[in-house]
Amino acid sequence: MRPLPCDLCGATTFARFWRGRDRDKLLTYLICTGCSMASMNPRPSAEELASFYRSDYRRERGIGDPWRTDSVSRHLISERQRAIQVIHLLQPYLSRGLSVLEIGCGTGFLLASLRDQYDAVVEGIEPDEHYAAYARDQRNVNVVASTVENFIPQKQYDLIVMVEVLEHLSSARRALLTMRGFLRTGGLLYVQVPDPYTHRTVALAHTHVFIEETLANMLIACGFSPVRVNTHKDAASSMPPYLLSGLARAGGQASPVAAPSYRRVLLKRRLTRAPVASLEALYAVRGRILMILRALLGRRVYEMLRKLYWGRLPSSEAPNTSPRPRDR
Ligand SMILES: [Zn+2]
């Protein structure tokens, strides 16, 4: 099958970025030799993705149905932490009464927070019908079960937020051009994606792989002027900074930035990704490591260590290391 043209520059000359299996599907990622934009290629069409996200995606990730208490509490913890982080990052740009649209809003935690803290007039789009219903019923947020491509806005917004959604779409360019039309001129767009130098990135649901330069250039190509594009930590995770976010204004004139050559991108990923992958592997077996530590040190020393470490280690009374729900 012939690869799709580069979503950023339209070229058709690629090098291999990654190839492997994720959940029994063979995935191929190519990197454009001209602009260093990497994407799953070939990748599913917008229609195929829409059907996947309508019902399967949240469940495949183990998030499950929103009314199942165990899964919802887990999901809510990370949604809450992300919302706090996004509001913190956007704080200098937030004023009272903004109209806000969030794309892929999950259970609507961020939107409800913006409404409660800033009197924002909020709306959301969420492809999963159960999550959209949860946001409407539990948070009283106006959420439409739709994809960005099928959404018909009734007005232009001051702010659009898209947290870890852009890397899931069939064409990031088409989605950003569509969103440009949803924003008033001078309105703000906040997008957050994984940073491929530290994040695994390549996974069944991820269709695009952005680095700072290609994210900036994609925003510019779609009619935005970047305010800032940078990497940062995920508030919901103990892992090193593996998020990349872009804040941009609709309109204005910005010149494209020079991207590193695709060879440098591949080399940098090889050098930076491996140490994080080892940390992730350690993190995955941390429960077992803690059990061994407890057996070796005895309960008293272990409890002392636990207090020093912000109480984040599990108590020796309750050896369960799974996250405890802090939010309903
Ligand atoms: Zn390209």
Return the pLDDT at 58: 61
- Residue 312, domain member (yes or no): no
pTM for the structure as a whole: 0.83
The DSSP secondary structure of 26-66, one letter per residue, reads EEEEEEETTT--EEESS---HHHHHHIIIIIHHHHTT---T
For 133, half-sphere exposure in the C-beta direction (CA atoms, 13 angstrom radius) is: 8
Give the residue from 274, 187, 265, 259 showing the smallest Cα distance to 225: 187
What is the residue-averaged pLDDT of the chain? 85
Least confident of 123-127, 156-160, 207-211, 233-237: 233-237
Gyration radius from the chain CA atoms: 21
Question: What CATH number does the domain containing 126 carry?
Answer: 3.40.50.150
- Residue 89, domain member (yes or no): yes
- Residue 26, domain member (yes or no): no
Read off the pLDDT band of 323 (50, 70, 90). Answer: very low
- Residue 100, domain member (yes or no): yes
Please say if the pLDDT value at position 57 is more than 80.
no
**Overall number of domains in the chain:** 1
Mean pLDDT over residues 194-214, rounded?
90
- Residue 226, domain member (yes or no): yes
Query: In percent, how much of the chain has pLDDT > 70?
Result: 85
78 versus 106: which is more confidently predicted?
A: 106
Range of the domain at 233: 44-257
- Residue 321, domain member (yes or no): no
Please say if the pLDDT value at position 317 is more than 90.
no
How far is residue 219's CA from residue 206's CA, in Å, rounded to a whole number? 18
Do the Cβ atoms of 57 and 221 come closer than 8 Å? no
- Residue 133, domain member (yes or no): yes
- Give 104 Cα–ligand 1 centroid separation in angstroms: 26
Do the Cβ atoms of 100 and 123 come closer than 8 Å? yes
Sort residue 210 into left (φ over 0), alpha (ψ -120 to 50) or beta. beta
Give the residue from 51, 49, 59 showing the smallest Cα distance to 206: 49
- Residue 27, domain member (yes or no): no
Read off the pLDDT band of 325 (50, 70, 90). Answer: very low
Which residues are near ligand 1, the ion (C-beta closer than 5 Å)? 6, 8-9, 11, 32, 34-35, 37
- Give 8 Cα–ligand 1 centroid separation in angstroms: 5
Return the pLDDT at 328: 30
